[in-house]
């Protein structure tokens, strides 16, 4: 399912979707950080800095002008870390963009696993890595954090026992609007890059920058630029 194809699902959601907006203080009290190791990272560059077009070099060809970047060309920030889960090699996490429009926020990123000691056709999944695509976006100035929409359950269920809250939260994590989502059957190929996205509620205070942890269990990106598709600052 593409981000655009999720519009019908979003329209059918009830008030449970609003629980994707979390009070940061409550989030910290419950120990749900979503930022992995929380290692410091370099500040991301401005969003939308795509790769320039290439020049034609063959005989009788003309030089082309700069091309238009696609989402997969964008690199807002990137960081490599040792593969979690005790596996070999390293994982490279690339933050593509944080875009807000139509009352929603879309985070796009890419994840790549490289292990020269493993077979060329080796694969790993979220479960083996001990990570989860439960994206977390934090507006530090407003002390508010955001999780992806879910079609079942809720991130912060009300008037429920501890056991009930755990079950409802699991339902929410299982049905997040994130791709790829499956923690067992989806495989990351060795030396392959997987493009990913998550859809969350739009920030209420329209911040210029936010902190983004695309994957729970990997380091976060700080001060990521937010692009507002309606052109508003």
Is 187 domain-assigned?
yes
Q: Can you name the residues that pair with 111 across neighbouring β-strands?
A: 93, 194
Is 145 domain-assigned?
yes
Q: What is the pLDDT of residues 107-150, one digit of tens each?
A: 999 999 999 999 999 999 999 999 999 999 999 999 999 999 99
- Spatial separation of the C-alpha atoms in residues 203 and 227, rounded to whole Å: 12
Is 143 domain-assigned?
yes
**In the block, residue with structure tokens 């056709």:** 121
- Spatial separation of the C-alpha atoms in residues 201 and 15, rounded to whole Å: 12
Polymer length in residues for the chain: 233
Please tell me the pTM assigned to this model: 0.71
Distances 11 to 17, 45, 148, 156, 204 between C-alpha atoms, Å: 10, 33, 15, 21, 19
- Give the contacts of 127 (CB within 8 A, at least 6 positions apart): 183, 184
Is 25 domain-assigned?
yes
Domain of 218 in residue numbering reads as 12-40+73-228
Is 2 domain-assigned?
no
Is 6 domain-assigned?
no
- Spatial separation of the C-alpha atoms in residues 52 and 82, rounded to whole Å: 30
Task: Name the stretches of the chain with pLDDT < 70.
Answer: 1-72, 231-233
pLDDT score at 138: 97
pLDDT score at 66: 52
What is the number of structural domains in the chain? 1
Is 57 domain-assigned?
no
């Amino acid at each position: 399912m593409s981000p655009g194809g999720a519009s019908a699902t979003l329209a059918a959601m009830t008030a449970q979707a609003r629980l994707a907006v979390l009070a940061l203080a409550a989030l910290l009290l419950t120990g749900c950080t979503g930022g992995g190791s929380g290692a410091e990272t370099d500040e991301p560059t401005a969003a939308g800095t795509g790769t320039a077009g290439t020049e034609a070099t063959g005989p009788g060809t003309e030089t082309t002008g700069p091309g238009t970047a696609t989402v997969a060309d964008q690199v807002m920030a990137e960081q490599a870390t040792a593969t979690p889960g005790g596996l070999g090699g390293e994982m490279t996490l690339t933050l593509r963009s944080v875009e807000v429009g139509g009352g929603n926020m879309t985070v796009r990123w890419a994840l790549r696993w490289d292990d020269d000691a493993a077979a060329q056709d080796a694969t790993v999944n979220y479960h083996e890595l001990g990570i989860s695509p439960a994206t977390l976006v934090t507006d530090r100035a407003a002390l508010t954090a955001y999780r992806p929409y879910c079609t079942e359950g809720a991130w912060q269920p009300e008037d429920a026992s501890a056991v009930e809250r755990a079950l409802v939260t699991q339902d929410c994590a299982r049905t997040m609007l994130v791709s790829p989502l499956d923690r067992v059957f989806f495989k990351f190929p060795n030396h392959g890059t997987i493009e990913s996205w998550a859809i969350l509620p739009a920030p209420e205070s329209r911040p210029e920058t936010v902190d983004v942890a695309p994957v729970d269990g990997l380091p976060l990106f700080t001060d990521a630029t937010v692009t507002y598709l309606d052109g508003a600052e």
